[in-house]
Amino acid sequence: MIQILYFANFRELLGQSEEKIPSTHATVSDLLVELAARGGDWKRALTENTQLQIAVNHNIASRETPIKAGDEIAFFPPVTGG
């Protein structure tokens, strides 16, 4: 299993802050394809969003980052400062 966390406006848009799913993905990109297949807001938030920020096990990651069972993957919008 992998644990997926959704932060900030993704949590509100997708209606959940976290979920666990079977680990059948080689990379973050593979996971995003599966989640986007849910359609609607999922597709817009996770695959059409070029500013999507990703962390795997608390480390900044990219769509090409490998993932495996037991990993924690977090998705969040870009952080801005002032």
> What pLDDT is recorded for position 51?
87
Neighbours of 69 (CB within 10 A): 10
Using only C-alpha atoms, the chain has a radius of gyration, in whole angstroms, of 12
Cα–Cα dist 33/39, whole Å: 10
Residue-wise pLDDT tens digits, 43-68: 988 888 888 999 999 999 999 999 99
Give the mean pLDDT of 25-53: 92
Averaged pLDDT of the chain: 92
Question: According to the model, what pLDDT value does residue 73 have?
Answer: 98
pTM equals 0.91
For the chain, strand residue ranges (E) read 2-6, 18-21, 53-56, 59-61, 72-76
Is domain 2-76 in CATH 3.40.190.10, yes or no?
no
Q: How far apart are CA 54 and CA 26, in angstroms?
A: 15
**pLDDT range class, residue 23, cuts 50, 70, 90:** very high
> Per-domain residue ranges for the chain?
2-76
For residue 31, the surrounding DSSP H or E stretch is helix 28-36
pLDDT for residue 74 is more than 90: yes
